[in-house]
Structure 1
């Protein structure tokens, strides 16, 4: 074959063959690869400085890209793969790594990283097991990410971390690859130094030598503590550590890759010992502390104006003030910092979940406690205050989010064991590691103690002031926000970590046996009592369906409580009565929760009940968290309700002349089966009897609930159209809950129309919480929400006409009703929207029974639609003036009669009380004056004042001068009724789920 024929054979374009056919030929691919590689080396050698020679840098970039494309294409084709074999035999990766590290050009670095990634993904020639390949790639990664390298772009940085992650994935799948990337030289260095180090000559004086040795020892301890002497042993490990705090996929790759390395430590004792002595635990603990320190020291809980929940938008809610020092919880910067901190905390949890080494886990937890808990978290709790602009709100919110986010038992044990000042229990931790690893962990602990002691800072002791003291102090605070976040923290501890609260946060008593359970007759009586209280509030709604939903929600909350799993889990075998213990590896964690009850003098309970006494004057957020905390006190299956929540069986007394049918004569033989049957029937009959309802024996909770219902009756007697406005508020909540589209905007004042939920306070709390955590920007719609809700409230309470439809041929009773729309200006006054709304006819309005007939009778059909609209606007203005008025606590009602639980049935609406049955609150509209004469009193006042008689409790005395709007009261009334439904469902579900009612 002559020269031209050989040239044509090697030039596919000249011969007319396609590029695809050329790629299919392994020999041609190899020739092309060799040519590109030689051109790459030639260009590199001819260029003295790639950082300044842009033309040469671009040429080298193109050559690297061609090499990578050839390798990628070949890896997808069938064998043979000569290009990959050539790269392995000629060690092409060595000059590629040198070119990238010396170029200081991001495009060349990016192509070099892709080149190495292609070789690793080919899974041929054992690249990841090759020491030379690992050394070249490690040197490349360290040099391009080091302090003296150029700043890489986000895309290039992501490719670098992804390449490191791919290597850790290979190590996880095949631990035999680890020696190529991890080379611990500590043991060989130590043995070498011991055998080769000569005896030092005594040239120092007697006083200088100990001092220099001490300084040298401290320096060595610090180097060991910070891991400076081990970084060269596993550079890939430290590369991933540098990126674990990053956001996006860079941080995800880094954290996951580090988890794979820690997981591989279980199969490598040298790596396990190296991780223990490295600064992994130090960097993770200090990094977590640094992220916590970035959070604002002072915080106010707020909601975006365009995302305010309906229950707050329709109350006296006012946005708290924030400034450069006090940050708002809905600020984007704050949410970003908090999310970053919580994500790193979850990374701690992932590390402990993947770590199979007890020694590594113990080292991590020790640093978590000493560096983060003792040095950062607890001092922030200790220094917090509710009078300096929200520092208590901040730290309690952070602690609540920590306890909500983390569920690893060891982290929870460390946090609550330390903050609650639980006694330490010294116990041996089982270890499956070798003695060398255990010794390394002990040395690391000593280094940690030495470093902390060298700082000379006195560590505060939780024995003097623990989390319980802080919670009780904050619950007594005059700041509504402090009380609100504290109650939220209490609920989280009770729901998720109840076993830590039994002996610390709560004053409990242990119980044995079932004698403290209530009888079936008393149980039915008490459920009826809660429903009777809810009945006094009244309303027109499908309460049967509402209560069914409450029952389902309560059942779910009871079954999901961590303490109840032993009570609700079926016992599949007679020999399997005990479930596995909670997997705590640290000593001192509470183990099993036994049957207990809450002491009536419990400080937390009584403080909560003090707040409950001023329910209608409390902020809605406080009431939502308060009702949730009281509910959570009674959720645990091992918590007995008798004594503090319900009447105690020891206080049962019975009427002798009740309607209990007489028993037959007992058998004469006490040992006969008939006599045993007689005793059983007698016991069943005794349990079915209803005890006398004596107010003096009622727990304080039941007495306060009755008082609140009496106050509702007092408000009903003094507030005009109370029932009609309350029903409109309930319907407003229905529309707000079902609204799914963005609300329209309004340019003017926000509303203060209160709202309520016809479901449960739990759903309202979820709405408030979801709004606080949401970061989406929507159209400003607080006023529009109110307008939209009330414009859809055209369905009258007494008619089924279409909403908003105007039909002059219809009768008056078939026309829809406008609902009052009130806004609150910054001064607290009421203002009417100046944007006109087409008012529907007034004849279908929802009236209170006392005013319906008189108002409807005043309408004259001959006046036409103009007169109807005028009258409707007049009624709307009246409703607005009522809702804007200020009220306080009503005076104690005179002549109140005792309430008796009555049989209830939830129907389309709560029925009226039967004749002859005493009402909960027969409130008289007068009170005795100082001279003993009767004088009238008024709750309402146009100027915000009120006449309140002296309250019965100290908490009410503190609130006697406080006033809220009628709208605010209506919202809290609906919350109270929902809370009563929750309490009734709680008692009813517990009876069947935990078998705590006695029938015999």
Structure 2
């Protein structure tokens, strides 16, 4: 009796009586028997429950009451007479028949709940009872079969969840497996060993293991129901290691075929033509401040930002990961080989490779689609056998007949029959299909890098980055032309290293700017250290050695034949086609799309991140071709007259140390083509600086714009965004004192929900090697800050910080009234508007690449020359149209981009140069690549 019952007079005491009856086992059993008898009487008296709604409701109510009594009793102290009665009288048989024949979802749902309550009670050994399992599986198979009534989603979830609970108990106690699985035509005389494998000669039937096939029917569903089905199936496959009969039954079952065809069906649902885009209002500022234009979509060409497309991709990738989970849980070699064989024949050979073969960049984006799908697959998987099958086949690596370690020399009869059935089924398709021996993934990548489509180039570069970063051993002899390095001793001297570092840092400094580059470079060093230490190929170089002098990581190796050997020290040949193609893309760096440049620089960084890839000869000058001045100190009489051998040895070591510190001379023929191209790009920046008015001011304003937007994105926003590449964009810098820039107040106007921006950050916008594009289809560009759609002309919400001018520059800028307010008089509002119009006019003008040195050609942007006197007059700027290009012929001959686009690419180049310098420095210390003696 509760508190109010004792206070209010006349309150009924019936609830107390019911509670007392519930606590009394005898009364509880009597109540249970009475409810069960009433259930049977109502069921037998009803001729058609589908039409007799009153009888159906009474049956549902009785089942609910029985389930409630059992559930309540299981939580009470012993004894449990109702549960014992249900077991001894096998009332679950009647309950199963009632639910099966009722054709009422309400009754079915209560019946499923009744069985679930008995299993959850963990009494009377229900899960070990063959009669109980037969009654339950007969019910589940009938209500989920083809001729059953359509169940609601909630009921289906309860059905699959009940099946999952059974597999959980099988996993915890393999002894109960025979109650749910019975293999026919098997010899029980031998339960283990090779004889048991060979004596299993029967074919699989669904009635042998109905629970298995029930789960298979739901593995391709989304949400909780799919999660229950897939996890339950994993538990069953894991249990196969404890049962030879179950192992061979799974081999001959439809598991591998259904999984492979289901995966292929999901892949076929993906759009054949794709363009990479961003959702409305979520265009990254690094693209908004460029010539980015949203691609055109049609009924055939789908945008990567489409929610439907994103859903299809995530569903496909989730089932690809499910394959990986199955292989990880499977301890049976034969089951694993059967799955891998079907994966290769049905999915790789019949679906994935033909889609790559038929792709083209001239039909609206089919190359973009298939290359993006392949990249997402390689990013999602880490199982060595699946990775090996995909890359070994697509790259046309030679096959080997080596028997994999840990497997039986003789395959069981069931395994042989399954392979024969698969070969017979796929023989017509295999005869008509082409093979990678004629056209492989390397051919497709090389062709795509020479495409006219910037999106095709960008997604191809992203695919190369994934292969280099995660599966470098497969690229050494396929994508790249490499030479093995036999010497393990460092060849680069400390003097040469200092010269190379000075060269790279001087290139970055020549680009210009007022930023704190020391702090930026320090953060790049931290990022490079993290990327190098976490690279898969570098683990064996930096991990502690074992007693035998080696570090082995067996989990990272494929268990099937044909896997590439352990990677060794190598370097890239200067004549490598891939390197030449990358340099040719760098040649048009400032007119490339920003996405292409971010992907391009990412490939170079990933190529130089592997610890076994020596960077001398292609990224840095070849150490064997260094030229030093003659050592005049060798003839010093002070050294010649020493007689003490120890002192002679010490002086000799000092001479060697001094020699190592000497700075070599670089002949032009010794500089790698890659460094020459970077130097050319910096020279082009100087040309832009001399011919574009207010170039330095505009460049600094653009840097401040990126820093302000990066600070804004440091505040949590309701957008899923992986961690940025550079630690310049990390939250660790938020502790630095805030620095007021001309873009701070602007950022507050654009993003008022972010508040005051904190520390300025880098405009690099690329993610780290391990986290670049882990989930998004759009690739790895940071700054997922909502902003307006980008037009060819810079948007009005980015007027480049005119309210508060940038910090004073160390460079000799031309006098301008837009300097610091403490050094210059205040600017009237009308004059500030005129300056804003001038800047917008300059930013919107079209330019091309500067002419090479020694080539006489007209200035590619003659109308950009505006005198200071003209710039100070309001209304003196021409309209921001393409008047600088007379006629359409010139734009057809040479690609034209806006000054705003060039400024963004200039900052990307500068960040890349700092990143390269940091990478070279960290490699030298981490891998011991520099000689001091």
| Matched residue SS, 1:469 | helix
1:789-868 correspondence to structure 2 within 5 Å: 824=791, 828=792, 840=803, 849-853=812-816, 868=828
The answer to whether residue 844 in structure 2 is matched with residue 870 in structure 1 is: no
Alignment CA distance shift 1:131-1:667 (3 Å): farther
The answer to whether residue 345 in structure 2 is matched with residue 370 in structure 1 is: yes
The equivalent residue for 1:118 is 117
The equivalent residue for 1:712 is 685
Structure 1 residue 848 displacement after superposition: 7.9
Structure 1 residue 683 displacement after superposition: 2.5
1:381-420 correspondence to structure 2 within 5 Å: 381-420=356-395
Answer whether contact 2:582 2:600 (CA < 8 A) is retained.
yes
Structure 1 residue 575 displacement after superposition: 2.7
Alignment CA distance shift 1:888-1:24 (3 Å): same
From 537, 544, 561, give the equivalent of 1:563. Answer: 537
Answer whether contact 1:400 1:492 (CA < 8 A) is retained.
yes
From 616, 620, 625, give the equivalent of 1:642. Answer: 616
The equivalent residue for 1:3 is none
| Matched residue SS, 2:128 | coil
Answer whether contact 2:283 2:784 (CA < 8 A) is retained.
no
Alignment CA distance shift 1:591-1:746 (3 Å): same
Structure 1 residue 459 displacement after superposition: 2.6
Answer whether contact 2:274 2:365 (CA < 8 A) is retained.
yes
| Matched residue SS, 2:904 | helix
Alignment CA distance shift 1:451-1:482 (3 Å): same
Alignment CA distance shift 1:673-1:485 (3 Å): same
Rounded to whole Å, the distance in 1 between the matches of 2:703 and 2:685 is: 16
Structure 1 residue 451 displacement after superposition: 1.0
| Matched residue SS, 2:571 | strand
The answer to whether residue 551 in structure 2 is matched with residue 618 in structure 1 is: no
Gaps spanning 5+ residues in structure 2: where? 1-11, 191-199, 719-746, 752-759, 865-879
Rounded to whole Å, the distance in 1 between the matches of 2:773 and 2:409 is: 53
Rounded to whole Å, the distance in 2 between the matches of 1:768 and 1:258 is: 30
The equivalent residue for 2:68 is 69
Answer whether contact 2:289 2:794 (CA < 8 A) is retained.
no
The answer to whether residue 234 in structure 2 is matched with residue 259 in structure 1 is: yes
The equivalent residue for 1:982 is 915
1:154-193 correspondence to structure 2 within 5 Å: 154-187=153-186
1:195-234 correspondence to structure 2 within 5 Å: 230-234=205-209
From 570, 591, 594, give the equivalent of 1:596. Answer: 570
Structure 1 residue 657 displacement after superposition: 7.7
Rounded to whole Å, the distance in 1 between the matches of 2:656 and 2:639 is: 15
| Matched residue SS, 2:928 | coil
Q: Could you report, residue by residue, the CA deviation over 1:658-690 in whole angstroms, capped at 9, with x for unpaired residues?
A: 9999694257889x5555444433322221111
Q: Could you report, residue by residue, the CA deviation over 1:843-890 in whole angstroms, capped at 9, with x for unpaired residues?
A: 99989844325777999999xx8x710011010000000100111111
Rounded to whole Å, the distance in 2 between the matches of 1:529 and 1:891 is: 24
Q: Could you report, residue by residue, the CA deviation over 1:688-730 in whole angstroms, capped at 9, with x for unpaired residues?
A: 1110132221001111111111111111101111111111111
Structure 1 residue 542 displacement after superposition: 1.9
Rounded to whole Å, the distance in 2 between the matches of 1:975 and 1:507 is: 28
Structure 1 residue 466 displacement after superposition: 0.6
Alignment CA distance shift 1:17-1:697 (3 Å): closer
1:333-732 correspondence to structure 2 within 5 Å: 333-430=308-405, 438-454=412-428, 457-514=431-488, 517-571=491-545, 573-581=546-554, 582-656=556-630, 664-666=638-640, 672-732=645-705
Alignment CA distance shift 1:845-1:430 (3 Å): closer
Answer whether contact 1:101 1:143 (CA < 8 A) is retained.
yes
Rounded to whole Å, the distance in 1 between the matches of 2:405 and 2:547 is: 31
| Matched residue SS, 1:590 | coil
Rounded to whole Å, the distance in 1 between the matches of 2:750 and 2:643 is: 85
TM-score (structure 1 length as normaliser): 0.80
Alignment CA distance shift 1:770-1:717 (3 Å): farther
Alignment CA distance shift 1:757-1:697 (3 Å): farther
Alignment CA distance shift 1:729-1:853 (3 Å): closer
Alignment CA distance shift 1:645-1:842 (3 Å): closer
The equivalent residue for 1:320 is 295
Alignment CA distance shift 1:838-1:277 (3 Å): closer
Rounded to whole Å, the distance in 2 between the matches of 1:599 and 1:779 is: 38
Number of residues paired by the alignment?
A: 851
Alignment CA distance shift 1:232-1:16 (3 Å): closer
Q: Could you report, residue by residue, the CA deviation over 1:142-193 in whole angstroms, capped at 9, with x for unpaired residues?
A: 000001111111110000000000000110011110000001113379x9xx
Rounded to whole Å, the distance in 1 between the matches of 2:28 and 2:97 is: 25
| Matched residue SS, 2:302 | strand
- Higher-Rg structure is 1
TM-score (structure 2 length as normaliser): 0.85
The equivalent residue for 1:879 is 839
The equivalent residue for 1:782 is 787
Answer whether contact 1:175 1:267 (CA < 8 A) is retained.
yes
Answer whether contact 1:744 1:779 (CA < 8 A) is retained.
no
Alignment CA distance shift 1:137-1:231 (3 Å): same
Answer whether contact 1:558 1:564 (CA < 8 A) is retained.
yes
Answer whether contact 1:888 1:960 (CA < 8 A) is retained.
no
Answer whether contact 1:563 1:636 (CA < 8 A) is retained.
yes
Rounded to whole Å, the distance in 2 between the matches of 1:595 and 1:851 is: 52
The equivalent residue for 1:818 is none
Rounded to whole Å, the distance in 1 between the matches of 2:806 and 2:30 is: 94
The equivalent residue for 2:740 is none
Structure 1 residue 395 displacement after superposition: 0.3
Alignment CA distance shift 1:383-1:663 (3 Å): farther
The equivalent residue for 2:877 is none
From 904, 907, 911, give the equivalent of 1:971. Answer: 904
The equivalent residue for 2:194 is none
Alignment CA distance shift 1:430-1:723 (3 Å): closer
| Matched residue SS, 1:978 | helix
Q: Could you report, residue by residue, the CA deviation over 1:116-153 in whole angstroms, capped at 9, with x for unpaired residues?
A: 00000101000000000000001000000001111111
Rounded to whole Å, the distance in 2 between the matches of 1:33 and 1:570 is: 67
Answer whether contact 2:618 2:673 (CA < 8 A) is retained.
yes
Structure 1 residue 48 displacement after superposition: 0.8
Answer whether contact 1:308 1:771 (CA < 8 A) is retained.
no
| Matched residue SS, 2:432 | coil
The answer to whether residue 290 in structure 2 is matched with residue 303 in structure 1 is: no
Structure 1 residue 837 displacement after superposition: 13
Answer whether contact 1:110 1:156 (CA < 8 A) is retained.
yes
> Which stretch has the larger CA shift, 458-467 or 138-147?
458-467
Rounded to whole Å, the distance in 1 between the matches of 2:703 and 2:14 is: 85
Answer whether contact 1:534 1:981 (CA < 8 A) is retained.
yes
Structure 1 residue 564 displacement after superposition: 0.5
Gaps spanning 5+ residues in structure 1: where? 1-12, 192-223, 748-755, 785-822, 895-926, 930-934, 949-956
Q: Could you report, residue by residue, the CA deviation over 1:753-779 in whole angstroms, capped at 9, with x for unpaired residues?
A: xxx9626453499798887569xxx99
The equivalent residue for 2:193 is none
